[in-house]
Structure 1
Amino acid sequence: MPTSMPAPSIRIPIELLTPPAFHQFGTVIENPATSPSAKLPIPHRVPPPDSVTANQGFATKYLDVTHMSNLYTLAPSKKPAKAVMNMFVCKPRELRPHEASMSLPSSWGDLDIDDDEDENGNYERQLLDIGILERHPFTTQTFIPMGLAQQDKSTQYLVIVAPTLPASASRRYSNRPPPYPTPKIERKKSFRDIFARARPSPFTNEATPPPSLFSRLHPSARPKGPGIPDLKNLRAFVATGSQAVTYGAGTWHAPMIVIGDRPIDFVVVQFANEVGIEDCQEIILKPDSTAPEGVVVMVDTDSSGQVQVKTGVASVKAKL
């Protein structure tokens, strides 16, 4: 049975998926010459990856566009993992009608986001309830959409992520310890082993991981720690068909969410060792009995069905 935690009554606006905005959660894979990020003001762009000419001059090869991590050597079972590639066929989600609420839109504060009309007066707001988050503590996970054009306005997908709270907050906000598996420390008799056990554990947020273990990893691929998700700072991004996304190891995220009129096929690349609690952990979000609702993402669409960006860089009238 997955762990559960109380969820605040809160509404989240949608942002544009860009590498800088997503940096703490993972990496965005996109063509730097034609991506939505290329249209942003210069201060909000990031340098493109290094590139070389390939295929006898008929291709440009961008190097290290994402960073994969296999951290299963830290898993309690010590069972080795292998690289796996699966396909998820994700159906469009059913949304519920918009209802007025006093909820604030997450860490963005009290924003004026009630302008629900486009140039034709056809903006429509619907609501998406977020009832569960998951994470993969020892592996990155890359989602690659297939058959979805960048210009497709009627079908898009959302990337919903949350930061990780310190481990000490798990018992405060939940009646159970964190689901993140922590290694068992065997008692040793020698003084050398006793002093060795005093080194910081890589599974706590209260101490810096040993640099020899994580120094080679890109910051986006390093584990996030054992804590529960920080729901008040949950973020929601809308992606186009020209973008893939890699979740960093241990990043709390919602299952992939398709918005529109048809399914999207995703090829998913990760590591796995077939030990359930080490491959995937879930936490159920339960609204308080007195709360009118729980965690909700506001989905605004125009007359063509295109999801609108309401917060952050390129907000309100952004065209993807």
Structure 2
Amino acid sequence: MPPSMPAPNIRIPIELLTPTAFAQFGTAVENPTTAPSAKLPVPHRIPPPDSVSANQGFATKYLDVTHMSNLYTLAPSKKPAKAVMNMFACAPRNLRPHEPSESMPSSWGDLELDDDDDDGGRDDCERQLLDIGILERHPFTTQTFIPMGLSAADKHTQYLVIVAPTLPASASRRNTARPPPYPTPKLERRRSLKDIFARARPSPYSVDTAPPPSLFSRLPPSARPKGPGLPDLKNLRAFVATGGQAVTYGAGTWHAPMIVIGDRPIDFVVVQFANEVGIEDCQEILLKANNASHEGVVVTVDTDASGKVQVKAGVGAVKAKL
């Protein structure tokens, strides 16, 4: 049985999955010319990846659209990992009927999710609820989910990407009265004489007045080790993705299992590293409401008459009171 943590009474709106919005947690992989985010205002777009002509001019090759990270040298067992490719055949989730609630997502301020009429505020829009009872992470590897057989234009089936930042280890202990569930060792390396003298001011090896930054400091935030902390549930976020998007979770990013919304299953090819040490490959945490009067962590899912998930927060929202 995985360890558990108390969950606040909170409802999370759905955002559009874009590379900019998701950058803290990993990479949204998409065609930069045809993806929904290509139509967003410039401040909400990131530069497209470099590209070259390929296939005798009949293709455009986008370079380094996502990055795989293998951090298993930090794992307690020191057992090497290998690249693996699995498939997850994910069936659509059962949602429960909408019920009014006073809870609202703190990460979105005073976003009023339940001020609509009983029919969801629109005759062609249905509101349902998705309970989030578990999060997981892969502390030493990225994990890329690639949907197969799902059109980018499919309105009847989509999938949700639900992620949370990582709390500092000290906050995890304070909020649960116990240490974090999965202590992750710090990277330890023996310092050479050059390293020791390089901390002098000024450095004897350059004109710099400080030692060079560490390897991890050069990486984007999503690619750095996250530490052993619990998920920050008050800043949990939910994104809706189409068949034209793949997603890479940064190593150690807390996320929900892949969630399909709609009419039919989605098959995902999943690429990651693994060393077959269970607690190092995957770690889980159960989310339990504080008491019977609380519902815990819930994502509000609004769909139109065709079944297309409606975006309720962030850029591209159909309705947001911020």
Contact 1:76-1:184 within 8 A present in 2 as well: no
- The aligned residue for residue 214 of structure 1 is 216
In structure 2, relative to structure 1, the CA distance for the partners of 1:33 and 1:250 (3 Å cut) is same
Rounded to whole Å, the distance in 2 between the matches of 1:122 and 1:280 is 40
Task: For residues 20-60 of structure 1, give each alpha carbon's deviation from its aligned partner in whole angstroms, at most 9, with x where no partner exists.
Answer: 11010001000000001011122211111010111111111
Contact 1:87-1:265 within 8 A present in 2 as well: yes
Rounded to whole Å, the distance in 2 between the matches of 1:30 and 1:184 is 34
Contact 2:74-2:187 within 8 A present in 1 as well: no
- The aligned residue for residue 274 of structure 1 is 276
- The aligned residue for residue 102 of structure 1 is 102
- The aligned residue for residue 90 of structure 2 is 90
- The aligned residue for residue 238 of structure 1 is 240
Rounded to whole Å, the distance in 1 between the matches of 2:217 and 2:101 is 45
- Verify: 1:153 aligned to 2:155, yes or no: yes
**SS of alignment partner, residue 291 of structure 1:** coil
Unaligned 5+ segments in structure 1 are 196-209
Q: How much has 1:261 moved relative to structure 2?
A: 1.0
- The aligned residue for residue 291 of structure 1 is 293
Which deviates more from structure 2 when the two are superposed, residues 106-115 or residues 257-266?
106-115
Partner AA of 2:150 in structure 1: L
- The aligned residue for residue 52 of structure 1 is 52
- The aligned residue for residue 258 of structure 1 is 260
Give 1:75-224 correspondences, 5 Å limit. 75-113=75-113, 114-115=115-116, 116-118=120-122, 121-183=123-185, 211-215=213-217, 217-224=219-226
Partner AA of 2:104 in structure 1: L
Contact 1:162-1:234 within 8 A present in 2 as well: yes
Task: For residues 126-159 of structure 1, give each alpha carbon's deviation from its aligned partner in whole angstroms, at most 9, with x where no partner exists.
Answer: 0000000000000000000001101111100000
Rounded to whole Å, the distance in 1 between the matches of 2:228 and 2:44 is 31
Contact 1:3-1:176 within 8 A present in 2 as well: no
- The aligned residue for residue 227 of structure 2 is 225
Q: What percent of counterpart residues are identical?
A: 82
Partner AA of 2:73 in structure 1: T
In structure 2, relative to structure 1, the CA distance for the partners of 1:233 and 1:55 (3 Å cut) is same
Q: How much has 1:74 moved relative to structure 2?
A: 0.6
In structure 2, relative to structure 1, the CA distance for the partners of 1:288 and 1:215 (3 Å cut) is closer
Rounded to whole Å, the distance in 2 between the matches of 1:63 and 1:264 is 26
TM-score (norm 2): 0.87
Rounded to whole Å, the distance in 2 between the matches of 1:142 and 1:32 is 18
Rounded to whole Å, the distance in 2 between the matches of 1:35 and 1:129 is 29
**SS of alignment partner, residue 43 of structure 2:** helix
TM-score (norm 1): 0.88
Task: For residues 165-198 of structure 1, give each alpha carbon's deviation from its aligned partner in whole angstroms, at most 9, with x where no partner exists.
Answer: 1110122222442133433999x9xxx9xx9xxx
Unaligned 5+ segments in structure 2 are 197-211
**SS of alignment partner, residue 104 of structure 2:** coil
Give 1:61-72 correspondences, 5 Å limit. 61-72=61-72
Contact 1:15-1:309 within 8 A present in 2 as well: yes
- The aligned residue for residue 313 of structure 1 is 315
- The aligned residue for residue 24 of structure 2 is 24
Partner AA of 2:283 in structure 1: Q
Contact 1:146-1:266 within 8 A present in 2 as well: yes
Which deviates more from structure 2 when the two are superposed, residues 149-158 or residues 285-294?
285-294
- Verify: 1:9 aligned to 2:9, yes or no: yes
- The aligned residue for residue 39 of structure 2 is 39
Rounded to whole Å, the distance in 2 between the matches of 1:290 and 1:266 is 36
**SS of alignment partner, residue 94 of structure 1:** coil
**SS of alignment partner, residue 168 of structure 1:** helix
**SS of alignment partner, residue 317 of structure 2:** coil
In structure 2, relative to structure 1, the CA distance for the partners of 1:185 and 1:270 (3 Å cut) is closer
Rounded to whole Å, the distance in 2 between the matches of 1:215 and 1:297 is 33
In structure 2, relative to structure 1, the CA distance for the partners of 1:145 and 1:185 (3 Å cut) is closer
Rounded to whole Å, the distance in 2 between the matches of 1:317 and 1:182 is 41
